[in-house]
Amino acid sequence: VKNTKAKEDEREKKKEKQDLEMPFSCSTNDILTSSFGNAAEIRVLMMAINLRKRLEGAVDNDAGNYESVVMYDPPGYEHPSDIRKSLCRGVPFIREHSHPLPKFCEASRCRIGMITSWAFSSFDGEIVLGGSNTKMTL
C-alpha cells in the first residue's frame, strides 16, 4: 500500500510539473472570461467556443453551427491560465479542476453565466447594417 501511494504521489508531481511547463499564453478572452466569472461569483460559467479547426474536417468556410460550450466551476475559471489549459489539450475539452458540476436542485437556484467571444481570426470583413453607422466594435 505504501509503495502504491508513493507511486501515485510521484505521478501527480510529474503531472503538475508538466502542467507548469506547458507552453501557452493566455488570450484576452481567457482574461475576460476569468474576470467575468470571478466578479459575478458565478457557480457555473459556460463559455461558448467555435469548433472550426478544432474538430477533424471542420474548417472556417464550412456552413453550419460548429459551436459548443465548455462549462467551468469557480476553481476552473479562477485564473486565466485555467481557461487556457482546458482548451490547449484539445477535444474533448476537459476542465482543469474537475469538481462536480451542480445537480438539478443546486443548478435550479445557483448563479449561472455565459460568455462568448466574437473575435474570429478568420473574419476580416466589415459588418454592414443598412441605415446605421458603426461607432465602436467591442
- Sheet with 67-72, edge to edge strand ranges: 67-72, 44-50, 112-115
User: What pLDDT does residue 8 have?
Assistant: 64
- Long-range CB pairs of 10-19 (<8 Å, 24+ gap) are 19/85
The SS3 assignment for 107 reads helix
What is the pLDDT tens value at each position of the chain, 138 positions in all? 555 666 665 665 555 555 555 566 888 889 999 999 999 999 999 998 887 777 777 777 777 777 788 899 999 999 999 888 888 877 767 766 667 788 899 889 999 999 987 665 555 566 677 788 777 665
User: What pLDDT does residue 102 have?
Assistant: 86
CB atoms within 10 A of CB 82: 19
Q: Which pTM was predicted? A: 0.65
User: What pLDDT does residue 38 have?
Assistant: 96
* Closest C-alpha among 1, 27, 118, 121 to residue 80: 27
Check: CB of residue 67 under 8 Å from CB of residue 51.
yes
Domain positions in the chain: 23-138
User: What pLDDT does residue 54 have?
Assistant: 73
Give the total residue count for the chain: 138
